[in-house]
């Protein structure tokens, strides 16, 4: 995933901003009417942040041992 996010950022410098804008647009369309809605939007933003971090921003290094087990 990290390699894909890195490649996407190289080919589209606004990649992360466009993902965040899509989440915001979806939230605006749905309307936040419950705590569950707010939690879903917050979680989506957290996942985007986690998946698009650069190594300099503290992206997690893959744990190859657990992948091969």
13-65 pLDDT per residue, tens: 898 899 999 999 988 988 878 898 889 899 999 998 888 887 666 655 544 34
Band (pLDDT 50/70/90 cuts) for residue 68 is: very low
CA angle 13, 42, 23 (to 5 degrees): 45
How far apart (Å, rounded) are the C-alpha atoms in residues 60 and 18?
22
Q: Judge contact between 22 and 30, C-beta under 8 A.
A: no
Tell me, what's the pLDDT at 20?
Answer: 92
Question: Which sign does the torsion angle of CA 49, 51, 55, 59 carry?
Answer: positive
Two structure tokens written together for 66: 């657990």
Q: Judge contact between 48 and 1, C-beta under 8 A.
A: no
Tell me, what's the pLDDT at 65?
Answer: 44
């Amino acid at each position: 995933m990290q390699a894909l996010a890195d490649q996407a950022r190289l080919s589209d410098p606004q990649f992360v901003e466009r993902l965040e804008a899509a989440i915001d647009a979806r939230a605006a369309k749905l309307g936040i009417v419950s705590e569950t809605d707010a939690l879903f939007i917050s979680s989506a933003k957290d996942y985007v942040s986690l998946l698009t971090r650069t190594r300099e921003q503290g992206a997690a290094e893959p744990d190859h041992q657990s992948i091969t087990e």
